Amino acid sequence: MLFAAESSRDNLVDLDISVPAWIILGVLVMILLGIDLWRHRDDHEPTAKQALNESLFWIGCGLAFSVGVAIVYGSEAFGEYISGYLIEKSLSIDNVFVWALLFSTMKIPLKYQHRVLFWGIFGALVLRAIFILAGTALISRFTGVLVFFGVFLIYTGIKVIRHKDNEGESTSTAGLGLLRKIMPVTEEYDGHNFTKMINGKKAATPLLAALVVIEFTDVIFAVDSVPAVLAVSNEPYLVFASNAFAIMGLRAMYFLLADAKERFHYLSHGLGAILIFVGLKMTFSLWFHLNTFISLGIIVLFVVLAIVFSEYKNRQEPVAV
């Protein structure tokens, strides 16, 4: 059985990534984040056109990097990167809707939301890197952990299909409770600052409270999405790159889709189906390897079907404006 497991996982690419390649990826990510922070240095409410243009820019960056992967590391590495990118991008849509709920619940002004999301995603990149390194290390040493991850993803997929509208409220409460144990929390704003001096003591503004909650929710989502991406690639470089380029564009996606939840009625069903599929793929990867491009096609199919059926439902029952 161990031999079969090793043979099956050997069908995934095993790259010899040089230190300069990691440095280039890290510098590229930091440059893109720096440009994004500079563009939004003044607090303003993004327009739909701006959100759309920025979403297309980030998608373009992710696809451009995939071309580089194909040129340098070959088609199989390209397939694994794109599969991981699409999985992370798809699962992140649900994250966007949870953010919308959290910001609404916490009454965060729209003009400050980009700042909160920027630092939230910066922290998410660090957390994902830790999760990815830990996950790949576990898989390389204990092949049987694939079954555990696979079953967990199947269970999570079923939960996502049974999605609840109030998802995120308990997370918000838990995150605020954690922050209040560390420092006072005020309902007063101080521009876009995360802290404010009150009676000689530093207190967290609602923006810091929102940031803590965002990071708290990302840990929960990372527990789902990182194993899902590990189902299609064991190469830390490809897994991290696909995660990084997918989540860096979430801010623009949030401002584009936050109010469109009702239009994507079957989205949770599609995302749940993706999780169940990659869970099954990971579970049986010990004995059977499904071609990367076939996996990619199935993932794309689930996303397309979710959008098509949602649009069909909207035409039958128009969403109230």
Per-residue confidence (pLDDT) for residue 23, from 0 to 100: 94
DSSP 317: S
Question: Which are the contacts of 42, defined by CB distance < 8 A and separation ≥ 6?
Answer: none
User: Rounded to the nearest 5°, which phi and psi values hold at 207?
Assistant: -70, -40
Amino acid at 128: R
Whether the predicted pLDDT of 112 surpasses 80: yes
Longest dimension (CA), the chain: 66
Mean pLDDT for 103-123 is: 82
Q: Which two tokens stand for residue 292?
A: 């990367």
pTM over 0.85: no
| pLDDT classification of 2: cutoffs 50, 70, 90 | very low
Per-residue confidence (pLDDT) for residue 58, from 0 to 100: 92
CA dihedral for 18, 24, 25, 30, sign (positive or negative): positive
Per-residue confidence (pLDDT) for residue 169, from 0 to 100: 53
In percent, the amount of the chain with pLDDT more than 70 equals 87
Per-residue confidence (pLDDT) for residue 260, from 0 to 100: 64
Where is average pLDDT lowest: 68-77, 221-230, 259-268? 259-268
Yes or no: say if 237 and 25 are a contact pair by the CB < 8 Å rule.
Answer: yes
CA dihedral for 62, 95, 161, 310, sign (positive or negative): negative
Report CA dihedral (185, 186, 190, 196) to the nearest 10 degrees: -50
Mean pLDDT for 208-230 is: 80
206-230 helix and 145-161 helix, angle to the nearest 10 degrees: 120
CA dihedral for 103, 272, 275, 309, sign (positive or negative): negative
Q: Which two tokens stand for residue 253?
A: 């996606």
Residue showing tokens 């991290």: 240
Per-residue confidence (pLDDT) for residue 321, from 0 to 100: 45
Taking all residues of the chain, what is their mean pLDDT, rounded to a whole number? 79
DSSP 285: G
Whether the predicted pLDDT of 303 surpasses 80: yes
Per-residue confidence (pLDDT) for residue 127, from 0 to 100: 85
Mean pLDDT for 235-244 is: 92
Whether the predicted pLDDT of 174 surpasses 90: no
Whether the predicted pLDDT of 239 surpasses 70: yes
| pLDDT classification of 64: cutoffs 50, 70, 90 | very high
Mean pLDDT for 249-265 is: 74
Per-residue confidence (pLDDT) for residue 165, from 0 to 100: 53
Yes or no: say if 196 and 190 are a contact pair by the CB < 8 Å rule.
Answer: yes
Yes or no: say if 95 and 218 are a contact pair by the CB < 8 Å rule.
Answer: yes
Per-residue confidence (pLDDT) for residue 31, from 0 to 100: 93
User: Rounded to the nearest 5°, which phi and psi values hold at 97?
Assistant: -70, -35
Q: Which two tokens stand for residue 59?
A: 């998608």
Per-residue confidence (pLDDT) for residue 314, from 0 to 100: 74
Pick the residue with more confidence: 164 or 49? Answer: 49
Whether the predicted pLDDT of 319 surpasses 70: no
Q: Which two tokens stand for residue 321?
A: 């404006």
Per-residue confidence (pLDDT) for residue 4, from 0 to 100: 35
User: What confidence tens digit (pLDDT) does each residue in 126-163 have?
Assistant: 888 888 888 888 877 776 777 888 888 888 788 777 76
Per-residue confidence (pLDDT) for residue 172, from 0 to 100: 55
